[in-house]
Amino acid sequence: MRKKLLVGNWKMNKTPSEAKAFALGCKDMVDYAVAHGIDVGVGPTFVCLAAVKENAPKDLIVAAQNCHFKPNGAYTGEISIPMLKEIGISWVILGHSERREYNGETSKVCNEKIKALLAADMTPLYCCGESLETFEKGETKAWVKTQIEEGFEGLTAEEAKKIVVAYEPIWAIGTGKSATKEIAEDTIAFIRGVLRDHFGAAAEEIRILYGGSVKPGNVREYMSQPDIDGALVGGASLELDSYKGLIEGLVG
Ligand code: PGA
């Protein structure tokens, strides 16, 4: 049985004091999620990670939005896995479409990062998803298959199980135009099939989230689908009220 998961991707939002206020205010809702067997987390910016980690209940997963695959060195502006680990971070979001578009992050680079994270006993949250053009051409499945295969390249089934995947159609991110539950389920079931081809039964243990304009009002629809294990949420994860609404939607 895959455990439900909600992760808020804060992107480039919140100052450290704003992030701290969220962390201090989320205890009741995190307890409520835990009591219902749901994992919940947020992905603050690097400068907010410590503030959230130090002030949030220990059950709140705190994820970085990126990392480098090398442990140290001449990589100006980068953050390494040992740096994250030392401040208690054990999850990292990788391959988000915004990082792919604006920062040249490729699936192959994500694969290096995934391997480095797994070696450090950390959890990669690997994002995939197609553009509107690819969707309209009917090439979504071929596109995400390549992203998944490149991201998971060279891993064992034991390693693959430790990764969380998020399917986020780019045309649904921040647009208010969410994918229907049928489209989301169809693609996510397909992704699970690709994982099954490579890793066998381990695919049944890999959590796959939907992301793209998920709100408290539509999250239940996605959760009703057999292959969708939770949500990666941007805009609606920023405020405590709305985040609470998302958790309630996951509870059912
Ligand atoms: P959104 O973003 O919920 O604001 O559409 C989702 C994401 O980019 O992870």
Over residues 78-109, the pLDDT tens digits come to 999 999 999 999 999 999 999 999 999 999 99
For residue 156, the Cα-to-chain-centroid distance in whole angstroms is 21
Residue at token pair 């991110």: 173
Residue type for 108, please? K
Which residues does 196 contact at the CB level (< 8 Å), separation at least 6? 203, 204
Test site for ligand 1: of 12, 214, 222, 238, most ligand atoms within 8 A of the Cβ: 214
- How far away, in angstroms, is 123 Cα from ligand 1 center? 20
Tokens 């381990």, located at residue? 202
Question: Catalytic pick from 96, 98, 185, 221?
Answer: 96
Residue 135: what residue type? Answer: F
Cross-strand partners of 233 = 8
Q: Is the pTM of this model over 0.75?
A: yes
Q: Is the CB of 246 under 6 A from ligand 1?
A: no
239 three-state secondary structure:
coil
* Angle of the 140-151 helix axis to the 107-119 helix axis, nearest 10: 40
Q: How far apart are CA 238 and CA 234, in angstroms?
A: 7
- Evaluate: CB of 234 within 6 angstroms of ligand 1: yes
CA 215 to chain CA mean position, Å: 16
User: By the 8 A CB rule, do 141 and 190 touch?
Assistant: yes
Over residues 156-215, the pLDDT tens digits come to: 999 999 999 999 999 999 888 889 999 999 999 999 999 999 999 999 999 999 999 999
Is pLDDT at 151 greater than 90 in this prediction?
yes
